Structure 1
Amino acid sequence: MKLPVTIGALTLAALAAPLSAQAQDRAGQGSGGHVQVKAFVTGVLPDGKISDVETDIVGLPADTQTKANDNVVPTIAIEYFFTDAISVETICCLTQHDVDGTTGLPGAELVSDAKLVPATVTLKYHADLGAVKPYVGAGPAYFIWIDEQPGAATLPLGVTDFRMSDELGVALQAGVDIPLNDSGLAVSIDAKRYFIDTTARWYAGDTLAIQTEHKLDPWVIGAGLAYRF
């Protein structure tokens, strides 16, 4: 986590530096309002592999490895422009994932229907190249898990409960807005890479049976329409 966090911090510093110098730029400019709303179709492409096995009283195969499935969901982004070059954005979506074994327990469902809220805020810098407006951004992200369930393959082991830890990490972002008219409508393409892990815990009654660290680090790639007003 150290390298991604450092990259995110440096990016935020670089984006924040022009803010005070450009704080007056909005006056007299005709590129649109302060608020932009985006509606995306978004692919969420997580990793999900095991990075460490910390507790194992059931005797998992030594080469056990896992993968989280991809998902496609609708996403809403809301963005506020301090200037035409500097903005802050947050997103709203809910994505659902299973985690299955790839080696050691190939095809075994270990996690079922884990619902994730990827709370994210990014500070963005926009360049104006005329017909296209590319941007980069970075910021904190907090992954919140809801109603995660033990997978079907774990129930015969006596597993009765399952939990994944909510975690704080960083997101890096890049994309482009392509205006369609002079009224604020645009096509938007966006890509984020998150750097976040989670701890998975399977319980048999009150006993912690398995505890593993998982690398999530999803790519989140979306395309849709933007409207600035």
Structure 2
Amino acid sequence: MKKTAYLGAAAIAAFAASLAAPAAAQDAGTIEVKVLGTAVLPNGKIDSIEGGTLATTVEGLGVQTEASDNFVPTVAVEYFFSPNVSVETICCVTAHHVDATAPAALAGGNLVDKIHIIPATFTLKYHIGAPGSIRPYVGAGPTYFLFIKDEVGAGATAALGATDVKIDDTFGLALQAGVDIPLNDAFLLSFDAKRYFVKPNAHFYNATGTEVLETHHKLDPWVLSAGVGFRF
């Protein structure tokens, strides 16, 4: 029993030491975890009217929309294949609503309420400069926006008779640029900007389940982040 206890204690001590010991900056196999504050700034304008029983009426009125901004916490995890090449994924949930901006009679009306989005994103990044220095980077990769808890807004109910809304999950592209500033061998400051290109369709339905309107939206958010990272 004593031998087992000693071995267990030694294993725990070795594991703790491995976490405490700083890794060589951005060697192959290095993992970075960042905790960030993130501003999500979508566009949300209608790109086109795709269909529905009220499509012609809505198009004739020149209805236009915008999506609200949001500020959320974000976690990013990055794996380095080499000192200069890495892949990153992010985890967050962001909530928005969509309001009408035109015509004047509808301006300010809430059309879609409580949209929750999970932006599943992977970017391949290239870091400029030597490990351990201030390092700008660029990246690009695919994204898949999952829309959850879509709720119809009071403006859509009043103007369209809509009682339900569904926004399609959508593939898109993310472009990325930023800079990492080392504080020591383990910690860093990070500033990051992403531009997403995502164009989902929104479907509005009345109480009988009839689609009264389908719109194609230019969501295309800017996602701006700043925070701290830990390298191990």
User: What TM-score bracket applies, with the shorter chain setting the length?
Assistant: 0.7 to 0.9
The CA RMSD over aligned residues, in Å, is 1.5
Matched, 1:93 2:92: yes
Measure the CA separation in 2 of the matches of 1:227 and 1:46.
29
* Kept in 1: contact 2:26–2:84 (CA 8 A): no
Say which of 129, 136, 139 aligns to 2:138: 136
Letter in structure 1 aligned against 2:94: T
| Residue 39 to residue 117, structure 1, CA distance change in 2 (3 Å) | same
Letter in structure 2 aligned against 1:45: L
Match of 2:8 in 1: none
Match of 2:107 in 1: 106
Shift of 1:31: 1.6
Cα displacement string for residues 171-197 of structure 1 (whole angstroms, at most 9, x for unaligned residues): 000000000112x10000000001110
Matched, 1:198 2:192: no
Misfit runs of 4+, over 3 Å: none
Cα displacement string for residues 196-220 of structure 1 (whole angstroms, at most 9, x for unaligned residues): 1000010012100011100011000
Letter in structure 2 aligned against 1:116: I
Unaligned runs of 5+ in 1: 1-28
* Kept in 1: contact 2:26–2:80 (CA 8 A): no
Cα displacement string for residues 64-112 of structure 1 (whole angstroms, at most 9, x for unaligned residues): 1100000000000000011110100000000000000111121010000
| Residue 84 to residue 226, structure 1, CA distance change in 2 (3 Å) | same
Match of 2:119 in 1: 118
Matched, 1:47 2:46: no
Where 1:116 maps in the other structure, the secondary structure is: strand
Letter in structure 2 aligned against 1:31: A
Match of 1:83 in 2: 82
Say which of 161, 164, 175 aligns to 1:158: 161
Shifted more, 96-105 versus 59-68: the winner is 59-68
Say which of 173, 184, 207 aligns to 2:176: 173
Match of 2:24 in 1: 30
Shift of 1:115: 0.2
Matched, 1:215 2:209: no
Measure the CA separation in 1 of the matches of 2:135 and 2:50.
46
Where 1:153 maps in the other structure, the secondary structure is: helix
Shifted more, 82-91 versus 147-156: the winner is 147-156
Where 2:156 maps in the other structure, the secondary structure is: helix
Shift of 1:32: 4.9
Shift of 1:63: 1.8
Measure the CA separation in 2 of the matches of 1:158 and 1:200.
15
Cα displacement string for residues 117-139 of structure 1 (whole angstroms, at most 9, x for unaligned residues): 00000000011266411110000
Aligned residues: 200
The TM-score normalised by the length of structure 1 is: 0.84
Q: How much identity, in percent, do the aligned residues show?
A: 50
Measure the CA separation in 1 of the matches of 2:41 and 2:26.
33
